[in-house]
Amino acid sequence: MDAKQWKEKLLREPKNGYDRLGAEEREAMTAYCEDYKAFLDVGKTERECVTEGIRLAEARGFRPYKRGMELKSGDKVYVNNRGKMLLLAVIGRKGLAEGVQIAAAHIDSPRLDLKPNPLYEDSELAYLKTHYYGGIRKYQWVAIPLELRGVVALADGSTVRVAIGEGDEPKLVISDLLPHLGAEQNKKTLAEGITGEQLNLLIGSEPMEGEEKDRVKLAVMKLLYEKYGFTEEDFISAELEAVPAANATDIGLDRSMIGAYGHDDRVCGYAALRAMLDLEEAPERTAVCILADKEEIGSTGVTGMKTRAFDTFIEDLCEDQGVAARACIERSFCLSTDVTAAFDPSFPEVFEKRNGARLNYGIGLCKYTGSRGKGGASDASAEVVARARRLLDRDGVIWQMAELGKVDAGGGGTVAAFMADRNIDTLDAGVPVLAMHAPFEVVAKLDCYMTYKAIKAVYKD
């Protein structure tokens, strides 16, 4: 063999995904991404993602799971966990003793939640106080149009859906200082320039006629009451989330990328859901899709990935077949699909080029996440990574390895560790993102589509 042949045989040379993508696949990719953008526009909160997920699933024959219901191969069921977490399964041809094939993603995204007592007036302007959710860079959330979405649970037991700023409706905003008076603010670090208590949403300025104190606040409350039927006290039992008002849009003259709020992690959540909806026949082993809430604040709570709701779902399915859940779990495989950081040529100092993910190189496999020496990572075993390689290559998935930034630069985590804790072989993988956690994040269409293909490969394994 000459050097060229040796090189081909021995060395690994990652290729841009476009050099490997067929014309037919390109079309499928574009169509898939149109559907994904539509999903993003209706799903700007975890609740909305669950509602839309159920709508799409029911249209493809999924039914709500009821404990004890008889299931056969090919049956499609889902569990709606409190409107904020969705679990779906397609029963496989093999029994549950053979384990299940899982894709787990999260559908909560960083945002600004309203405080329990949010509404106030200052200097004849009405505001809503917020408490940010997840890791945000606060300076990015000022001076952009925002919407308010969520629910208000009334004392009578009913729930009102709120969507302020949808479509042509008026938006909300958090003001920033003008440069003319920003000299002192400019001296602060990015982390300190805007503080959490400055993230106040401007919601009105016209006073109600009369002599009352706080007339602007009163006028705003009246508008809310007339439209949604709730009073100031009802904010106490509300979950209202300020999210960017912009919808998903193509980025680049070549339309090769998508800019949107909430790619983390709806880009993987949609892929996991869609791959499940697109299973044409009963998979070999039962396929399970998890769209979890609360990842951005540690996967805690009844709807986060640490919840027993997942274990209960598996136990229920196993009970139906007379299989011990622990026997099913230990033979299961999970692709924990969450976004990773894409190499950004404008900030090369925090990335390690040889191991970072790049746009258009396909789904990024993360053997480990964590920070400060893999801290908090599940660190998939060599065998598990090999299994994924084999599987993805078999199904023609374009993939790459991914590490989130330079070793000492920082790090991150995801739900992978909580799946691995359950004795499930788990590998973290996902779409590389530019400007992750910003109000407007960017992904490459090719990577979105390859993540869908990868998850489909896992379900069908």
Query: Which chain residues interact with Mn ion by CB under 5 A?
Result: 264-265, 338
Nearest Cα neighbor of 274 from 100, 448, 154, 415 is 448
Give the tokens for residue 194.
Answer: 């805007």
Minimal distance in Å, beta carbon 258 to Mn ion? 16
Return the number of the residue (164 or 341) whose C-beta is nearest Mn ion: 341
d(CA 292, CA 303): 6
d(CA 250, CA 230): 38
Return the number of the residue (239 or 338) whose C-beta is nearest Mn ion: 338
Return the number of the residue (155 or 191) whose C-beta is nearest Mn ion: 191
d(CA 214, CA 125): 9
Taking CB atoms within 8 Å and a gap of at least 24, the contacts of 311-315 are 311/422, 313/65, 313/79, 313/87, 313/89, 313/288, 314/100, 314/288
Minimal distance in Å, beta carbon 176 to Mn ion? 24
Residue nearest to Mn ion (CB): 265
Q: What is the DSSP letter of 207?
A: P
Give the tokens for residue 86.
Answer: 């969705």
Pairing of strands 200-204, 125-133: antiparallel
Return the number of the residue (285 or 437) whose C-beta is nearest Mn ion: 437
Taking CA atoms, 167 is separated from 42, 163, 226, 239, 404, in Å, by 11, 10, 19, 21, 36
Return the number of the residue (200 or 307) whose C-beta is nearest Mn ion: 307
Minimal distance in Å, beta carbon 292 to Mn ion? 10
Minimal distance in Å, beta carbon 111 to Mn ion? 11
Return the number of the residue (45 or 286) whose C-beta is nearest Mn ion: 45
Return the number of the residue (293 or 338) whose C-beta is nearest Mn ion: 338
Return the number of the residue (74 or 134) whose C-beta is nearest Mn ion: 134
Return the number of the residue (107 or 450) whose C-beta is nearest Mn ion: 107
H or E, element range at 434 = strand 432-434
Minimal distance in Å, beta carbon 433 to Mn ion? 9
Minimal distance in Å, beta carbon 34 to Mn ion? 23
Minimal distance in Å, beta carbon 134 to Mn ion? 6
Minimal distance in Å, beta carbon 39 to Mn ion? 16
Return the number of the residue (109 or 200) whose C-beta is nearest Mn ion: 109
Minimal distance in Å, beta carbon 224 to Mn ion? 31
Task: Look at the chain and count its residues.
Answer: 461
Residue 208: helix, strand or coil by DSSP? Answer: coil
Burial class (CB in 10 A: 0-12, 13-18, 19+), 406: middle
Minimal distance in Å, beta carbon 343 to Mn ion? 18
d(CA 194, CA 177): 10
Looking at the DSSP bridge assignments, the partners of residue 152 are 160, 238
Q: In 258-378, where does DSSP find H-type helix?
A: 263-277, 308-321, 325-329
d(CA 341, CA 434): 6
Helix then strand then coil, in percent of the chain rounded to 5, is: 35, 25, 40
41: preceding bond cis by omega (within 30 degrees):
no
Minimal distance in Å, beta carbon 337 to Mn ion? 9
Contact 152, 240 (CB under 8 A): yes
CB atoms within 10 A of CB 48: 21
Return the number of the residue (52 or 338) whose C-beta is nearest Mn ion: 338
Nearest Cα neighbor of 93 from 287, 314, 315 is 287
Give the tokens for residue 406.
Answer: 């330079």
